[in-house]
């Protein structure tokens, strides 16, 4: 059956620049290692997509309805539908001392944040006390190619709910969340692994918004149960060691008669 708008799917993809064949994003760990794209705390696994929600670039999102599960596909996206065309006015030459004053090492190709507004820019050239900064997005003016495979179509509501939770909290295994639906209230029991994750409250808000969007008939509540630490067991009294047997007294020598 063909995929359609509103379907929940998971995909693997590798994205590259057509002109240079440079890989800039992937969901496949082996590719990330090969292309030196791995980041600390990064996750490499199939990505959840709800077709039509524009969680990816529009041409890629539109292309899902022509794909089939487990069949590789290629989607090519021109610059004007990707990061946009390059704007020459976004390339500026500044004094080298302006970078040095911000503690920035002027290395060609380095991406930096410059100025009071912390605008992102790439250093294109350095020379004669001047630095050329490019404020265009790194992929501006480039044609993008996505090698993509739909790995699965999620059918049950349980699968969809679990995937939406994992989308916001990928650091925790999906099977650690317990979800129950009763009287149109969806209760999510949060595992202890989530209690001290930085930004967990923002993640919970995102989960609630996603679930209420795709399952609007239900309210969402989170349950966090803090268990008292187990008390250490009282040490059993040590069994007194048996006293060593006393050596038998040697018999006194018999008196000799004169």
148 and 176 inside one domain = no
pLDDT at res. 188 = 98
pLDDT band of residue 161 (cuts 50, 70, 90) is very high
203 and 219 inside one domain = yes
**What CATH number is associated with residue 16?**
3.10.50.40
**What CATH number is associated with residue 107?**
2.40.10.330
100 and 121 inside one domain = yes
71 and 149 inside one domain = yes
Q: Residue 239 domain-assigned? A: no
Q: d(Cα 24, Cα 32) in Å, to the nearest integer?
A: 9
pLDDT at 257 over 80: no
Residues 239-255: b if buried by 16+ CB within 10 A, e if exposed: eeeeeeeeeeeeeeeee
Average pLDDT value for residue range 27-38: 95
**What CATH number is associated with residue 170?**
3.30.70.2210
65 and 178 inside one domain = no
Longest dimension (CA), the chain: 136
Q: d(Cα 232, Cα 28) in Å, to the nearest integer?
A: 45
Q: Residue 255 domain-assigned? A: no
Q: Residue 169 domain-assigned? A: yes
| DSSP reduced 3-state for 97 | helix
Contact assessment for residue 70 and residue 3, using Cβ atoms and an 8 Å cutoff: no
42 and 111 inside one domain = no
100 and 46 inside one domain = no
Q: Residue 200 domain-assigned? A: yes
145 and 163 inside one domain = no
The mean pLDDT of the chain is: 91
163 and 150 inside one domain = no
Q: How many domains does the chain have?
A: 3
pLDDT band of residue 239 (cuts 50, 70, 90) is low
Per-position DSSP letters for 6-63, written without gaps between them: T-EEEEEEEEEETTT--EEEES-HHHHHHTT---TT---SPEEEETTS-SS-HHHHHH
Phi, psi torsion values for 137, nearest 5 degrees: -55, 145
pLDDT band of residue 115 (cuts 50, 70, 90) is confident
Neighbours of 136 (CB within 10 A): 19
| DSSP reduced 3-state for 92 | strand
pLDDT band of residue 258 (cuts 50, 70, 90) is very low
Higher pLDDT, 245 or 62: 62
40 and 151 inside one domain = yes
Domain that holds residue 210: 156-227
171 and 71 inside one domain = no
């Amino acid at each position: 059956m063909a995929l359609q708008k509103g379907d929940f799917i998971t995909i693997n993809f590798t994205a590259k620049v057509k002109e240079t064949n440079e890989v800039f994003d992937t969901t496949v760990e082996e590719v990330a290692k090969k292309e030196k794209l791995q980041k600390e705390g990064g996750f490499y696994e199939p990505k959840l997509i709800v077709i039509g929600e524009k969680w990816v670039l529009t041409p890629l999102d539109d292309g899902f309805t022509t794909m089939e599960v487990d069949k590789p596909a290629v989607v090519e996206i021109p610059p004007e539908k990707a990061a946009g065309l390059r704007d020459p006015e976004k390339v500026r030459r500044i004094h080298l001392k302006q970078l040095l004053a911000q503690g920035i090492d002027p290395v060609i190709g380095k991406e930096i944040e410059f100025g009071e507004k912390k605008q992102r820019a790439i250093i294109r050239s350095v020379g004669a006390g001047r630095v050329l900064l490019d404020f265009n997005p790194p992929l501006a003016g480039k044609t993008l190619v996505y090698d993509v495979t739909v790995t699965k179509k999620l059918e049950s509501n349980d699968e969809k709910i679990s995937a939406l939770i994992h989308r916001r909290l990928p650091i925790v295994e999906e099977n650690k969340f317990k979800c129950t639906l009763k009287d149109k209230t969806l209760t999510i029991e949060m595992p202890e692994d989530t209690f001290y994750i930085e930004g967990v409250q923002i993640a919970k808000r995102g989960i609630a918004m996603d679930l209420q969007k795709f399952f609007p008939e239900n309210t969402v509540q989170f349950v966090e149960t803090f268990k008292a630490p187990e008390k250490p067991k009282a040490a059993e009294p040590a069994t007194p060691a048996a006293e060593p047997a006393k050596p038998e007294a040697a018999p006194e020598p018999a008196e000799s008669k004169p």
